[in-house]
Amino acid sequence: MSELMFLRQEVAPAMIRGVWMSIRLIVPSAVFGLAIGIITGTLRVYGHSVLRAIANVYVTFFRGFPLLVQLYLWYFGLARFGIYFSPYTAAVIGFSLCSGAYHSEYIRGALLSIKDGQMLGAQSLGFSRTQALVSIILPQAVRRALPGCGNELIYLIKYSSLAYMVTCIELTGEAKILASLYFKYMEMFLIAGAIYLLLVSIATWLLNNAEDWLAVPGFEPPRR
Amino acid sequence: MKAVLEGLPYIMGGVWVTLVVVAGALAMGLLLGTFLAIAHVYGNRALRTLTGIYVWFFRGVPLLVLLFLFYFGLLGALHLDLSPFFVSIVVLGLISSAYQSEIFRGAILSIPEGQLKAARAIGMSDFQAVVYIILPQAFRLSIPAWTNEYTIIMKNSAVTYALGVAEIMARANHVAARTYQHFWLYLLAGFIFLGLTSAGTRCLGLLQKKVAIKGYAR
Amino acid sequence: MEQTPVLKVEDIRKRFGEKEILKGVSLEINRGDIKAIIGPSGGGKSTLLHCINFLTLFDAGRVFLNGEEIDHTDRRRLYAYRQKVGMIFQDFNLFDHLSALQNVQIGLVRVKKIPKARARERAVAELERVGLKEHMDKYPAELSGGQKQRVSIARALAMDPEVMLLDEPTSALDPELVGEVHAVIKRLAAGGMTMVLVTHEIAFAGSLAREILFMDEGVILEKGPPQEILYGAKRERTREFCDKIIHFHHKDNG
């Protein structure tokens, strides 16, 4: 009976708090990350050589450094220079920039795979390069990049747990606190793990269906 | 800056720890992943469902949660006393095996079924056909994706710091605590990881060239 | 003088889902005999060959080698049986990661358990038999279609088969490469190899085979000596098929 009470009075509110914080971390990071990825990915393919170089350097570092190192740089590192981010802010900045670099790779790949003909066709109709990019090229690129970018979003759900390492208490953090307090390590981490699994599974399901919804008939190989 | 340079040898010592963790995890992932892939492709319904669940679990739960679960939870429940170093390798290995099994599964499925037919036609048992004909080709096909897996594990190894493993990140922190040069030390750590990732990728690229079969195009 | 046929196939039935591909096919072949199976695509010819060496498991029927029934559930006997029944595929199916020599050698080393050195000698000899000794270190991707097929014949021969099943051996080849493969098959026949040949090459079948079987819709409609089947078949369907093919060939060679 006390187990059930424990669950209701302690675990449930903590888990709900944790999930809410996780979502508050994941959603903005996903949006910013995707935006950064689209911009830098596009710059790396169509940009002016200086912009392209900058974007490439960005991607090299933010894909090359472990995410944990990046988070620590934002939270602990910059503090040494007098720049103090809250754990939440540091986490979102870290996730967005890191995620953006990976998204940029997928967008870049997708853009490269779209034939030149599309740009030429648009320009011949009088589109400027930018207009063509936005109206013709990018919509196609997004469909092609969907599997890669979608996967990256799923990774984001999982590595949002690293926010705990910069003292931002989300789902993992709440689980650890309760576990240490009541010595119920197995239970708490199994529960937390199950919640992540649920989030990841839902996201995966959405991603699979999104691929189907957005598929252009006849253009891509039919999905099973 | 001097403080950073003084701490450098100590931090570099962490490179060995990181390399062992990564190598251990990759090796475990390779061995387990191969078996899982074979079970997933050639096994009966029950095996396929089980491997599917395994892959779903280890690809769905975050690394940090699994590290805590195994180190604080499982060890306590089983009354085992293992080092964080060992547990980290096991957990990273289990996660990697899930990802590697998907890599190998994809590679195996991309091999034309005629290869298997011909192997059977000359009297090979299924075991022989898989070991001598399918796997040699599957591994070659998997090298690019496997290289990616290497970079992922290399970067993930930094998270084992959470369990107190004395790898690069932990050591950088240690020096930072004494010298207050957090920013430069973390930057240094980042560069070390970047270097290890690049070096490994280059080596695997060489490996791919070495085992490539002339004209083998899939 | 009654001799036991080398290979006897009795009443094979196979269905894939709703469709019945083989509706009770029987054949037997004596040592040194060559039989050709012709017929329209989809008639079940290829499936029949795959059933004979159990690459495809059939629903009903029996297979006998030298009078002994083959039980596919006995793994070890099945593998031994497959060594004795050589199969040549339309797509060659050479092991892509091995050189020509290694392709021939691997069966000897892994299946027959012959020591590597001896296996290599034998493999070289087989490749020489099909005229490919100079190419033995080349990989399948570096060989022409005709060369690949000849290597696959060498590979099958290395296992010392008692009968060879050839499933449209030249259908995937450019016309100019067909001749070299036919030459090798002819030499094998002259040497007394028992063969069941599925082919679209009517003229070749006619020149090589002692008996031709016409197969359509999962049954053997008619069988007889080449002259009879090709030019004076008893059944309407057979005549219809052969007329078209021969007419086509004559136009080709016109």
Give residue-wise pLDDT tens across range B128-150: 999 999 999 999 999 999 999 99
Handedness of CA A47, A48, A49, A53 (dihedral sign): negative
In a domain, A192, yes or no: no
Rounded CA separation B133/C238 (Å): 42
Rounded CA separation B96/A212 (Å): 29
> Who among B72, B159, B169 is closest to A185 (CB)?
B72
CB contact under 8 A, B118 and C95: yes
Indicate which CATH number applies to the domain containing C234: 3.40.50.300
> Who among B57, B158, B183 is closest to A66 (CB)?
B158
- Rounded to the nearest angstrom, the minimum Cα separation between A157 and chain B is 8
Average pLDDT of chain C is 91
Residue type, C59: D
Question: Residues B61, B129: contact at Cβ < 8 Å?
Answer: no
Among chain C residues, the shortest Cα distance to B212 is held by: C97
Range of the structural domain that residue B92 is part of: 2-211
Touching subunits of B (3+ CB pairs, under 8 Å) are A, C
The encoded tokens of residue C93 equal 């199916």
Q: In what order do the strands lie in the sheet with C211-216?
A: C85-88, C163-167, C194-198, C34-38, C211-216, C219-224
Which residues from A are below 8 Å from B182, CB to CB? Answer: 72, 76-77, 79-80
Rg (CA), chain B: 20
> Who among C83, C107, C141 is closest to B213 (CB)?
C141
What lies within 8 Å, CB to CB, of B127 at 6+ separation is: none
Give backbone dihedrals phi and psi of C229, rounded to 5 degrees, phi first: -65, -45
Pick the closest to residue B118 from C100, A170, C92, C191 (CA basis).
Answer: C92
Which residues from B are below 8 Å from A73, CB to CB? Answer: 183, 186-187, 190
* Model pTM score: 0.87
Residue C232 binned pLDDT confidence (cut-offs 50, 70, 90): confident
Rounded CA separation C254/B141 (Å): 48
Residue A137 binned pLDDT confidence (cut-offs 50, 70, 90): confident
End-to-end CA distance of chain A: 48
pLDDT of the residue at A218:
54
**pLDDT < 70 positions in chain B:** 215, 217-218
Report ipTM (2 d.p.). 0.90
Rounded CA separation B103/A34 (Å): 26
> Who among B60, B69, B194 is closest to A201 (CB)?
B60
Range of the structural domain that residue A92 is part of: 26-167+204-214
Range of the structural domain that residue C92 is part of: 7-253
- Rounded to the nearest angstrom, the minimum Cα separation between B50 and chain C is 26
Residue A223 binned pLDDT confidence (cut-offs 50, 70, 90): very low
Indicate which CATH number applies to the domain containing B36: 1.10.3720.10
- Rounded to the nearest angstrom, the minimum Cα separation between B69 and chain A is 5
Which residues from A are below 8 Å from B190, CB to CB? Answer: 61, 64-66, 69-70, 73
pLDDT of the residue at B217:
56
Report how many domains make up chain A.
1
Q: Tell the residue number behind the tokens 């989809």, with chain if given.
A: C42
- Rounded to the nearest angstrom, the minimum Cα separation between A147 and chain B is 16
Rounded CA separation C213/B17 (Å): 71
Among chain A residues, the shortest Cα distance to B163 is held by: A165
Which residues from B are below 8 Å from A165, CB to CB? Answer: 64, 159, 162
Q: Which of A206-210, B5-9, B133-137, C247-251 has the lowest mean pLDDT?
A: C247-251
CB contact under 8 A, B61 and A197: yes
CB contact under 8 A, A189 and B65: yes
Average pLDDT over residues A85-113: 94
Which of B110, B113, B122 is the best residue to mutate to test the C interface, defined by the most C CB atoms within 10 Å of its own CB?
B122
Residue C239 binned pLDDT confidence (cut-offs 50, 70, 90): confident
Number of C-beta neighbours around residue A178 at 10 A: 23
CB contact under 8 A, B73 and A61: no
3-state helix, strand, coil in chain A (%, to 5): 85, 0, 15
Cα separation values, B185 from B1, B12, B175, B179, B199, Å:
9, 12, 8, 9, 21
| B127 interfaces chain C, CB cutoff of 8 Å | no
Among chain A residues, the shortest Cα distance to B58 is held by: A197
Pick the closest to residue B94 from B6, B165, B32, B145 (CA basis).
Answer: B32
Rounded CA separation C37/C50 (Å): 14
Identify the bridge partners of residue C167 per DSSP, sorted by sequence position: C198
Rounded CA separation C96/C103 (Å): 9
Identify the bridge partners of residue C198 per DSSP, sorted by sequence position: C37, C167
Q: Is the predicted pLDDT of residue A120 greater than 90, yes or no?
A: no
Residue A66 binned pLDDT confidence (cut-offs 50, 70, 90): very high
Pick the closest to residue A198 from B98, B70, B60, B68 (CA basis).
Answer: B60
Residue A142 binned pLDDT confidence (cut-offs 50, 70, 90): confident
Which residues from B are below 8 Å from C106, CB to CB? Answer: 132
In a domain, A33, yes or no: yes
Q: In what order do the strands lie in the sheet with C19-29?
A: C19-29, C7-16, C60-65, C68-69
Rounded CA separation B102/B36 (Å): 9
CA torsion angle for A143, A147, A149, A154 (degrees, to 10)? 140
Q: Is the predicted pLDDT of residue A222 greater than 50, yes or no?
A: no
Task: Tally DSSP H helices, then E strands, for chain A.
Answer: 10, 0
Question: Left if phi > 0, otherwise alpha if psi is -120 to 50, otherwise beta: which for B180?
Answer: left
> Who among A81, A160, A162 is closest to B159 (CB)?
A162
- Rounded to the nearest angstrom, the minimum Cα separation between B203 and chain C is 22
Q: Is the predicted pLDDT of residue A210 greater than 50, yes or no?
A: yes
Average pLDDT over residues C74-91: 93
Number of C-beta neighbours around residue B192 at 10 A: 21
Number of C-beta neighbours around residue B217 at 10 A: 6
- Rounded to the nearest angstrom, the minimum Cα separation between A26 and chain B is 14
Which residues from B are below 8 Å from A192, CB to CB? Answer: 65
CA torsion angle for C214, C217, C219, C222 (degrees, to 10)? -30
Q: Tell the residue number behind the tokens 């289990």, with chain if given.
A: B94
In a domain, B218, yes or no: no
Q: Is the predicted pLDDT of residue A181 greater than 80, yes or no?
A: yes
pLDDT of the residue at A1:
47
Average pLDDT over residues C23-51: 93
Give backbone dihedrals phi and psi of C72, rounded to 5 degrees, phi first: -70, -15
Question: Residues C82, B120: contact at Cβ < 8 Å?
Answer: yes
Question: Residues B48, B40: contact at Cβ < 8 Å?
Answer: yes
In a domain, A121, yes or no: yes
In a domain, B78, yes or no: yes
Average pLDDT over residues C124-153: 95
Q: Is the predicted pLDDT of residue C143 greater than 90, yes or no?
A: yes
> Who among C91, C93, C107 is closest to B123 (CB)?
C107
A-B contacts at Cβ under 8 angstroms: 121
CB environment C137-152: b (16+ within 10 A), e (fewer): ebbbebbebbbbbbbb
Which residues from C are below 8 Å from B122, CB to CB? Answer: 82-83, 86, 107, 111, 155-156, 159
CA torsion angle for B169, B174, B178, B184 (degrees, to 10)? -10
Which residues from C are below 8 Å from B214, CB to CB? Answer: 139, 141-142
pLDDT of the residue at B18:
96
The encoded tokens of residue A114 equal 């779209």
Residue C248 binned pLDDT confidence (cut-offs 50, 70, 90): low
Distance from CA of residue C86 to its chain's centroid? 7
CB contact under 8 A, A76 and B182: yes
In a domain, B52, yes or no: yes
Residue type, C223: K
Q: What is the largest CA-CA distance in chain C?
A: 56
CB contact under 8 A, B214 and C80: no
Among chain B residues, the shortest Cα distance to C155 is held by: B122
Report how many domains make up chain B.
1
Which residues from B are below 8 Å from A69, CB to CB? Answer: 158, 169, 186, 189-190, 193
In a domain, A146, yes or no: yes
What lies within 8 Å, CB to CB, of A90 at 6+ separation is: A71, A74, A75, A166, A168
Among chain A residues, the shortest Cα distance to B74 is held by: A186
Among chain B residues, the shortest Cα distance to C74 is held by: B125
Q: A and B: touch, per 3+ CB pairs < 8 A?
A: yes
Which residues from A are below 8 Å from B174, CB to CB? Answer: none
Q: Is C85 helix (H, G, I), strand (E, B) or coil?
A: strand
Q: Which of A83-92, A115-124, B169-178, C244-253 has the lowest mean pLDDT?
A: C244-253
Q: Name residues 107-126 of chain B within 8 A of C (Cβ).
A: 112, 114-115, 117-125
Rounded CA separation C206/B161 (Å): 77
Rounded CA separation B196/B155 (Å): 10
Strands C211-216 and C194-198: unpaired
Q: Tell the residue number behind the tokens 């240094």, with chain if given.
A: B188
Rounded CA separation A110/A27 (Å): 23
Question: Residues B162, B67: contact at Cβ < 8 Å?
Answer: yes
Report how many domains make up chain C.
1
In a domain, B35, yes or no: yes
Indicate which CATH number applies to the domain containing A59: 1.10.3720.10
- Give the E-state strand segments of A127-198 in sequence order: none
CB contact under 8 A, C96 and B115: yes
Question: Residues C82, C93: contact at Cβ < 8 Å?
Answer: no
